[in-house]
Structure 1
Amino acid sequence: MSHEIVNVVYRKYDGSLHWHHRSLLLGEDEHGVWTGCVAGTSGRKGAGPMVTWSDAFVMLFPRDAWWTATFNAAPNKTEIYCDVSTVPEWRDGEVTMVDLDLDVIRMRDGRIFLDDEDEFEEHRIRYAYPCDVIDNARAAAARLMKAVTAGATPFATAPHWLSHVT
């Protein structure tokens, strides 16, 4: 099965490059657009060194939500990693969003937590996040914590999309 290549680009609020990598466009469903990476895929944070991921993963980019989600294949210790971000935008083979620091994480052992609240507070001031960005980010984090904790779809089980990259 051949897939189109998509550039996944996260930026910070000041426009600086954050995490970015190439990914396979897998498809679309009621939750949004799915991309995937096989084990051994590389990416980088800003202009930093290349990082090679040892486990396959898929990413979900909802159409109108202030977050993205990464679902990691076992044995990765992190099962689900949700980035609170601006609504993902698609243009010319690229999906771009602004990382707003807050992360909702479910570890494979079942622990669920909200990460990087300190970074959110620091960047809220440094980048002068507008009130609507602050409100949307906090609301998205609260909804994600509730949904991931409840095991609501698409967070109930590993998505079938993982079978495309494992």
Structure 2
Amino acid sequence: MPERAPLAPGDAVHCEMTKWGEHPHWVYDALWLGSDEHGDWVGVPTGTRFARPGRELTAGSDQVVLVPAPSYGVRPGWLATFHQAGGAVWAGEPSPPEPVAAAPRVATYVDMTTPAQWHGATLRAVDLDLDVVQDVAGTVVVDDEDEFAAHQVELGYPAHVVTAALQSCAWVHAAVVAASAPFDGAHRAWLDRLRELRAELRG
């Protein structure tokens, strides 16, 4: 069973997301922040580069990612990204958003995945399309249901993976709407820790 390497706050970690069948998806580098009762936390500083085949993005604000403890929700799993309040999610977005043309700012973005696994200092998971997204106004939606339906056929998701992803999505959606742990503001302390680490590293 792969295991996480011993890590200290500020250590570099590498995050690799694939699609079912080992198709490449998003990869990015981040910083280890620590662990609590909710799981493992990694920090994504402003300016972090995200890359996948044919596309690159740059983080427009600080973000923290929660790798949930097994006690949260049902399998196959999920990864939650919490964005700094008031910032652009990606560099180059209008700020403040234009009244009509720009989409609402994202506050919380939760990817349904296979159980995330640490391989030393590398975090790996398979993205299963479905996302629970909360904007800064508090609206919560389930996104990419059409992609999930298409990939069941195109990528050949096993029936048990489909069922588990739907169950995870339902659990996360309910938890985000209810603002229950870990979607109850627990991430704010870790955003503060990320800012402190960035200041220390600039030191």
What CA distance in whole angstroms lies between the structure 1 residues aligned with 2:168 and 2:177? 14
Q: Establish whether residue 55 from structure 1 lines up as the match of residue 72 from structure 2.
A: no
- Partner of residue 164, structure 1: 193
- Cα contact 1:25–1:36 (8 A) shared by 2: yes
- Cα contact 1:68–1:83 (8 A) shared by 2: yes
- The CA deviation string for residues 83-123 of structure 1, in whole angstroms up to 9 with x for no partner, is 00000010021010000000001101111000000000000
**Cα 1:49–1:129, aligned 2, differ >3 Å: closer, same or farther?**
closer
Q: Identity percentage over the alignment? A: 35
Using the size of structure 1 for normalisation, the TM-score is 0.94
- Partner of residue 106, structure 1: 134
Q: Deviation at 1:35?
A: 0.2
> What value does the CA root-mean-square deviation take over the aligned residues?
1.4
- Partner of residue 74, structure 1: 85
What CA distance in whole angstroms lies between the structure 2 residues aligned with 1:74 and 1:139? 29
Listed as ranges, the gaps of 5+ residues in structure 2 are 1-7, 88-104, 196-203
Structure number with greater Rg is 2
Q: Deviation at 1:10?
A: 0.6
What CA distance in whole angstroms lies between the structure 1 residues aligned with 2:44 and 2:83? 10
**Cα 1:40–1:106, aligned 2, differ >3 Å: closer, same or farther?**
same
Q: Establish whether residue 18 from structure 1 lines up as the match of residue 11 from structure 2.
A: no
* Between structures 1 and 2, the one with greater strand share: 1
Aligned ranges 1:1-166 → 2 under 5 Å:
3-45=10-52, 47-64=53-70, 65=75, 66-76=77-87, 77-157=105-185, 159=187, 160-166=189-195
Using the size of structure 2 for normalisation, the TM-score is 0.77
